[in-house]
A and B are shown apart, each in its own frame.
Chain A
Amino acid sequence: MDEALEALRALTNNPDAVFREGQREAIDVIVKDKARVIVVQRTGWGKSALYFVATELLRRQGMGPSLIVSPLLALMNNQIDAARRMGLRAYTINSANDLKVAELVSLLNSDEVDVLLISPERLANPEFMNMVMPLVGRRPGLIVIDEVHCISDWGHDFRPDYRRIGQVIGRLPVGIPVLGTTATANDKVIADVSSQLGEGLPVFRGPLRREGLALSVLDLPDRATRLVWIDKNLEKLPGTGIVYCLTQRDVDLVAAYLEHRGHRVARYRSGGDINQEEKDESLEKLLKNDVKAVVASTALGMGYDKPDVGFVIHYQSTDSLVGYYQQVGRAGRALESSIGIMMRGEEDKDIHNYFMRGSFPKPEIVDQILVAFENANGPLSTIAIEKLVNLRSGSIERALKQLHVEGIVDRLKPKTFARTLKKWVYPTDRVEQTMASKRRGAEEVGEYFATTECRMRFIVNHLNDVDLTECGICDNCTGNMVNAEFSSAEVANAQNYLRHGYLKIEPRKKNWDNTFIVATQQLMEGKSLSKWKDGGFGDLVVRGKQIDHQFADELVDAVAAMISDWSISERPTWITCVPSTKSGDLVPHFARRLATKIGIPFHAAVTKVRSTAAQKGMENSAHQGANVSGAFKIVGDLPSGPVFLVDDLVDSRWTLTEVGHILRQHGSGNVYPVALASTQSGDS
């Protein structure tokens, strides 16, 4: 028996283990030739066995630790566990674990690290690059680039921070083995990847089709209808699974609706308003089949490795076919049969366009930030930048992230940046190329919906697989289309639910200049009836503001209902509103009608002392706060009781905060903000 097989059996603790097709050949290239190789295999094929066996053999030869670069943070702990079970000393360093750089340095110094797993972002971290990388890279060792398609701008999820890795590998001398792995790559991507990593390197490809996965599509333009479909069919689906949504808001909506309808679901998405514990818990629950489904955004990304996912439902269509393959490919890895259904909604296109536009900061945003650096004789913090430029803090952060990736700024501390010596040129060609590639991706999904041929064959053909046999189990092969019949009453119920998605208005605790607001002058927690353009009341608010110049009676009734459902320990005794010069009587008129409806008096207690610029033109806290600071005053005497403070839209909350502040200063009771719609960003 040879050394490689012996290592595999020892590492897997299975005396009968054998290599899968292609694994052995790839190991030989790495271990014997110290050369470079790309392995294209579907997930679950056994990539980690490949690089762990290779690591074991290379370490026996006295080579340095293996460096594994992987974008799959969720997967890292699994991999670490797997490596350690195999007796390898594996470590990772990321924001979520407690391994300190100093500990890692000491382990590396005593050569006690066999495998180091990192995310690509780590390669831009100064501490890692200055302290750890010199030790990891001081002698040749295997470099693994997981999800290697990410280095190609042709790849559907090209990651700019991966590009650097491709460039480094391209420059390395011979004798440093490199393994690139991916489960999703077509010929164009593979050609691009291999030209970056070194011409003529061998590519091992395995079959990409997933046996037993029955694919189908479902065109249901209306959000409510799709909710009804999932509600009615979820429990009929085999085992447990994933429901994918495009936006964070849709994840929340679908999860809340399904929970409301009595299903056991959890949610998984990115965003500042969901904590790591909830995310970990969601994955854990799915892993243990404690929930029927996890409702997830694409943040439940590559490589989530659960062998028995019974179904993957897409509440909205993906923006590329490769992306779809990757997500639906999570189903049924170790199951005889599983189900993949992609739905398509009327909103999908807008959402895709929104993400596409946001995928690269606009030149005018970048230019403003760079001017701030030009004028600064040293590094700038994000807070300092907010004061200097009138841009959303989110836009500033996104632009800085991109500029960091492009090498235009250095990140000195998490929120402090210095301008580098690199000249800035807007990458027009690259942006346009990326846009074109994304548009093409969306078209391919359209073709997938339209096709009458076998859907699995359609996908693997797109991935340039050679095996084009029909699956025999998809909707087109069987002729059984997904059943989508429901009563109008069922749809009406869901629509009604959509319309009652009240949103919290959290009180601000700090002033725009970062000083604390005295507790007695803060707002109480408030409520917003809807989200701007949410398909429910949010659309009526748009109509009232932009077309009718008056809010419909339906909105008065809805806000009154919201207030009557509201469990506040005290009942406000009067109503006032935010005055505005721009919208004339729109808001006061609404507030008066609301007051009549709920039977408490309205007082026009607040007036403007100076005209302010439209708050929507103020893009970040520093500018918004300064714009409205001192802009209002109280007229006459205030009633003393608690009060509802009404405004039509809530976004930054600075206007409400400022008005609430002076109401309290002049002796009102607690101030409860009420808004018709929230335009707070976060996602579309």
Chain B
Amino acid sequence: MNNGSLAVLLLTNRLVDVDEKPLTAREIWSLYARIPQIGQVLDCTAAALVSEHGLDAAEVERIKKLCDAATAFTFELERLEESGIRVLSFLDDGFPKRVTDALGTKSSAFLLVAGNINLFDKPGRGIVGSRNASEEIVSVAQSAANAAVKQGGVVVSGLAKGVDRVAMSAALEVDGEVIGVPTEGIRRIAKANDIRNLVHEGRICLVSPYAPDVGFSVGLAMGRNRFVYALSESTLVVASDLEKGGTWAGADEALKGDFAQVDVWTGEGATKGNVALVAKGARPVPSRDEFWLSGFIPAPAVFDTDPEQLKLF
């Protein structure tokens, strides 16, 4: 890890309690814009940060106080890494670049990651939908997951009950892999042996913008939606309520922010919410054939003679 990365993590520290409020995402991106060599907040004196980098004194005091906790923070970082959880700032090599590309300054400056990070190199196919899905919708989610895996992609799932889990299981059933963005902390969800064993087997990679032990809350569930979209080349909304619920909010946010391509199921069983999302700019997918034909996840093998196409991933 370089100094810049350590600085980002210290300034946005959500791992160790410090007597100072950590920078919000907006604040850290603003600071980064002013000091691209952000490691200098560790190396420079407070006076130099004011005089040479034009920060105001109060801001510098807060920054220095956050950086002072380096010892405590580094021990905690090491402890997490020793137990298989990596804490990556956007300046680290392993950080999924897609996320910052898609979200820009709406992204968290750091992510906790556990499991097979090579999955970030595969084209991601988000599959989202409500918790209480009809049988028809469940089957659509399964087909979509199946098709994504068969085309060389990885399914991105929010790991919640309902459509999220259906998509996950369907991908695993055909020997596929999953990137999971849970609604709770990464260590908390891995208490269950199903998820934990899959992490060990390298078939799932957990990604989280939250502290490792936080419990479920609606706020956190909403906040993690954008990462599902950002980690995917395209995301399929299989079923959304109309103008309410997490699925709607997530899709609406992704469309407004233009994070990545949003597809929506408009075939049999499509909900009113789905139809409304088309009006908001989502690409309609009326039939299961399109999971295979539309080319949102072309299998890399098919294009191995055409380097230009490969750049897409």
Contact = CB atoms under 8 A, between A and B. Distances in A.
Interface stretch (B54-62, B199-207, B251-259): B199-207
B78 A167 contact: yes
B6 A423 contact: no
A374 B197 contact: yes
Interface string A410-443: 1000000011111110000000000000000000
Contacts of B68: 138-140
B79 interface: yes
B192 A377 contact: yes
Contacts of B199: 421, 423
Contact of B69 (A134, A410, A418): A134
B216 interface: no
A123 B190 CA distance: 23
B84 A407 contact: yes
A400 to B, nearest CB: 14
Contacts of A138: 16, 18-19, 68-69, 71-72
Given A134-B16, A410-B83, A139 B78 contact: no
Contacts of A374: 193, 197, 200
Interface stretch (A169-177, A310-318, A667-675): A169-177
Given A136-B71, A137-B71, A421-B84, A174 B43 contact: yes
Contacts of B75: 123, 129, 133, 137, 168
A137 B83 contact: no
Chain B CB within 10 Å — which of A374, A378, A423 has the most? A423
Contact of B193 (A136, A377, A406): A377
Nearest to A424: B200
B71 A176 contact: yes
A407 B83 contact: yes
A129 B75 CA distance: 8
A168 B75 CA distance: 6
Nearest to B69: A138
B191 interface: yes
Interface in B70-91: 70-79, 81-85
Contacts of A136: 71-72
Nearest to A166: B78
A176 B70 contact: yes
Contact of B78 (A171, A418, A422): A171
B200 A137 contact: no
B115 interface: yes
A171 B74 contact: yes
B42 interface: yes
Nearest to B192: A377
Nearest to B68: A139
A174 B187 CA distance: 31
Given A138-B68, A171-B74, A422 B19 contact: no
B92 to A, nearest CB: 12
A417 B19 CA distance: 32
Contact of A420 (B3, B78, B84): B84
Contacts of B18: 134, 138
Contact of B191 (A64, A133, A418): A418
Nearest to A423: B200
A410 B84 CA distance: 11
B17 A134 contact: yes
Given A134-B16, A134-B18, A140-B70, A421 B186 contact: yes
B14 interface: no
A299 interface: no
Contacts of B17: 134
A141 B42 CA distance: 15
Nearest to A422: B84
Nearest to A135: B72
A683 B79 CA distance: 32
Nearest to A141: B71
A423 B43 CA distance: 35
Interface in A545-587: none
Contacts of B69: 134, 137-139
B70 A164 contact: no
A187 to B, nearest CB: 27
Interface residues of A, number: 41
A268 B86 CA distance: 43
Nearest to A420: B83
A389 interface: no
Contact of B84 (A134, A373, A423): A423
A375 interface: yes
A411 to B, nearest CB: 11
B202 A423 contact: yes
Contacts of B74: 137, 168, 171-172
Contacts of A18: none
A172 to B, nearest CB: 6
Given A168-B74, A378-B191, A418-B191, A173 B6 contact: yes
A424 B73 CA distance: 25
B72 A134 contact: yes
Contacts, number: 116
B1 interface: yes
Nearest to A175: B42
Nearest to B78: A168
B83 A143 contact: no
Given A410-B83, A422-B84, A423-B200, A172 B193 contact: no
A10 interface: no
A136 B16 CA distance: 12
B67 interface: yes
Contact of B72 (A137, A174, A407, A421): A137
B114 A137 contact: no
Interface in B177-212: 186-187, 190-194, 196-197, 199-200, 202, 206
A17 interface: no
B198 to A, nearest CB: 10
Nearest to B45: A175
A356 interface: no
A71 to B, nearest CB: 18
A376 interface: yes
Contact of A172 (B70, B191, B202): B70
A450 B262 CA distance: 78
Contacts of B194: 377
B176 to A, nearest CB: 19
Given A137-B69, A421-B186, A171 B77 contact: yes
Contacts of B42: 173-175
A172 B74 CA distance: 7
Contacts of A167: 78
Given A140-B68, A173-B70, A421 B193 contact: no
Given A134-B18, A172-B70, A173-B70, A129 B76 contact: yes
A375 B71 contact: no
Nearest to A124: B79
A617 to B, nearest CB: 29
Given A376-B193, A421-B114, A422-B82, A173 B72 contact: no
Contacts of A378: 191-193
Contacts of A129: 75-76, 79
B87 to A, nearest CB: 11
Given A134-B18, A168-B78, A377-B193, A421 B187 contact: yes
Contacts of A133: 16, 72, 75-76
Contacts of B197: 374
Interface in A36-84: 64, 67
8 contacts: A67-B71, A137-B71, A138-B19, A173-B6, A377-B194, A421-B83, A421-B85, A421-B190
Interface of B: 1, 3, 6, 16-19, 42-43, 67-79, 81-85, 114-115, 186-187, 190-194, 196-197, 199-200, 202, 206
User: Would you list the 10 A-B pairs with minimal beta carbon distance, nearest first?
Assistant: A137-B72, A422-B84, A137-B71, A407-B82, A421-B84, A420-B83, A421-B114, A139-B68, A173-B42, A134-B72
Given A171-B6, A422-B84, 13 more contacts: A134-B16, A138-B16, A138-B72, A140-B70, A164-B79, A174-B43, A176-B70, A377-B193, A378-B191, A406-B82, A420-B83, A420-B187, A421-B84
